[in-house]
Structure 1
Amino acid sequence: MFGIFKKKTPVEKLQDRYKKLMSEWHELSTTNRSASDAKYSEAQGLLDEIDKLNS
């Protein structure tokens, strides 16, 4: 009816995970640079997967 029971597509799930990783990356960027870099590279891997699914 209003999209309450609509399931997320795989792309939407990946986008939500990407947003979460980028948020964690931003928080870590001020305290732990190596952990921040690891989160950023993981987020970039997800972005590549999203691009593959969209094309």
Structure 2
Amino acid sequence: MWWPFKKRDRLTELRKAYARLTEEARDLQRAGKIPEFAKRTGEAEAIGKQIDELERVRK
């Protein structure tokens, strides 16, 4: 059954944010905006580390 107030999973939220940031970084790189690309890539890497940490803790 669908529940509108479903408890959000932190790992799922981080994965969505990681995917969004990597897509933005890709688009910025293709547009030639390298400084912005580097910033987005750094943010995505930080979230990637958080994802790895959560996955390691859950195992």
| Cα deviation digits, residues 2-53 of structure 1 (max 9, x gap) | 5766433000000000010001001000220011011001100000001101
Report the equivalent of 2:20: 20
Which structure 2 segments of 5+ residues have no match? none
Residue type of the alignment partner of 1:32: K
Flag the 1:3–1:54 CA change in 2: closer, same or farther, 3 A. Answer: farther
TM-score, normalising length: structure 2 = 0.80
Equivalent residues, number: 55
TM-score by length of 1: 0.85
Q: Which runs of 5+ in 1 are unaligned?
A: none
* Runs of 4+ deviating beyond 6 Å: none
Identity value in percent: 25
